[in-house]
Amino acid sequence: MNMITLTINGQSVSVPAGTTVLEAAKEIGVEIPKLCHLKDSNEIGACRICVVEVEGRRNLPASCVLPAEEGMVVKTHTKRVLEARQMNVQMMLSAHPQDCLQCVRSQNCGLQNLSQELGVRDVETVNYEEAVIDEGAVIYRDVNKCILCRRCVAVCEEVQGMTILGALGRGIDTVISPAWHQSLDQVSCTFCGQCVQVCPVGALYERNDVNQVWDMLSSDAHVVVQVAPAVRTALGEEFGLPAGTDVTGKMVTALRRLGFNHVFDTNFTADVTIMEEGHELLERIKTNDLPLLTSCSPGWIRFVEEHYPSLTKYLSTCKSPQQMFGALAKTYLAQVEGIDPASIKTVSIMPCTAKKYEAARPEMNDSGYQDVDVVLTTRELALLMKQAGLQLAKLKDEEFDAPMGMSSGGAVLFGQSGGVMEAALRTLLAAYPDRVKLEESDAGSKVFVDGSEVKVKVVSGLKQARRVLDDIAAGKMPAHFVEIMACPGGCVNGGGQPTVIDQQQRQEIIKKRRISLKDLDKTAVIAGSHENLAVQRLYETFLQHPLSEVSHHLLHTNYKGPEQGATNAEPLPESETSKH
């Protein structure tokens, strides 16, 4: 490896060729402030916050795009550099709404943090024409708060392989928007929320449904709540606990204190999903109706409907665990508890912004009622708890309620990419040893069903999903069973999880959330979905068996194909856009 040596703040440092000054500074413990930078996807030097002074150069280059050179002498925090950074922050603040007290990102805002760190106090605010907030079905855009960092553009295009957002106009008239200034609802946005995760300010955020939940809890309705697996290893971050802390028991206690009549676990219906989808796979293998594509990620479902409508026939007909829960809450739970289903309201706590979109889909009312009434993100649950004065760390641990609170270790793995596949194979191998076998060798593992090899594939992120669908459309996809999640890494990295401004730190936090889920699986009392006694009782007393007529009515659905008018996204016009 070709190494080069440079001097930063009087200290010598050796780094591989191609390393930026920003990265080289970290090697000696110097953190250069930045705002627009996203490693590997948005390294454009647009915000000019990371400027440094380089001996022999008149200008102040942006360190995030400045390659380290042999013998280079760099100073990162001279008076000239600090004044330049302060001026750049002042310019951003001068055209930025001064409503920090009302902003959803107050105290967790990159621009606010920089102004504090740099001591920017006096700002002359210029008059600006107040823009209408794009209040979409799921994600809101406040153009006034946008600082044109293009992080959302980069994550949408470079990470997710989409071109929903772009820079329209030029100079001071530049705005970040979908094509022709349309709403996100008018284009093929999947509502994955990755743009919300990387926005350093309050220009992108999810629709807030907290007050709607308060209204339910104050009514005569019987309000039940379900919690997705990835929430329990991320919620603690909102209350100052270490990343990846499992707060399952304390979260259950908090939800009871809030007044929910029943506190259930989405993992219960994750187990049901495995039972239904596993049997669906076995049936499709018989008829060679393959590949089978998983259907638990609503952002991924919207993506395939909009961009590959002819391939929707390969989607599993299973609803997601969230929607299965809602349907069963208003039928099975109502029957077991003797509750009028019309009085039941279901609330979901999800790590995903697209779940709000999914709950509103017209297909999700096969029980005769809307399956899920309200979806809150992990962030919104934290807000609900803080409004009630609940201190998570001080609460005792309690258990989920019966009959929809028991789950397997496999179910909790739904919170990460690969978890659905692992849970499905775990159950199929254990429940059907005469039909499903695993052969392991030095070359790897192979799964066989009825003597024929079944190839599996796991994909996360829509950019990777596009490659898989291109191969399927071209007849080049060797896999028979494919798990796809919209967000890179799965639900641990969902658009509704706690936001982290520093993206390198965010990746470390996501890893800790994932490790915590794996630990929960390892310590679970039962490993496979088929072992869940509560699920067995559900089938014995209500559903009869997987893929029964009752199951098909309540737990399965169909997705849009070409005959139902699914349309491809309209690309951003070249004349109106500029890449990053």
- Tell me which residues are annotated as active site: 277, 280, 296, 316, 355, 358, 363, 491
Residue type at 474?
A
Residue type at 443?
A
Question: What six digits make up the tokens of 317?
Answer: 């007909």
Cβ(498)–Cβ(382) under 8 Å?
yes
Checking DSSP bridges between strand 344-350 and strand 11-16, what pairing results, if any?
Answer: unpaired
Task: Write the Ramachandran bin of 293: left for phi over 0, alpha for psi from -120 to 50, otherwise beta.
Answer: beta
Q: How many residues does the chain have?
A: 580
Cβ(436)–Cβ(429) under 8 Å?
yes
User: Which 3 state secondary structure label does DSSP give 3?
Assistant: strand
User: How far is Cα 334 from Cα 194, in angstroms, rounded to an integer?
Assistant: 37
Q: CB atoms < 10 A from the CB of 75, how many?
A: 15
* b (16+ CB within 10 A) / e for 367-388: bebbbbbbbbbbbbbbebbeee
The angle, 0 to 180 degrees and rounded to 10, between the axes of the packed helices 110-117 and 79-94 is 140
Residue 302 CB-half CA count within 13 A: 23
Beta-bridge mates of residue 449: 436, 452
User: How far is Cα 557 from Cα 318, in angstroms, rounded to an integer?
Assistant: 6
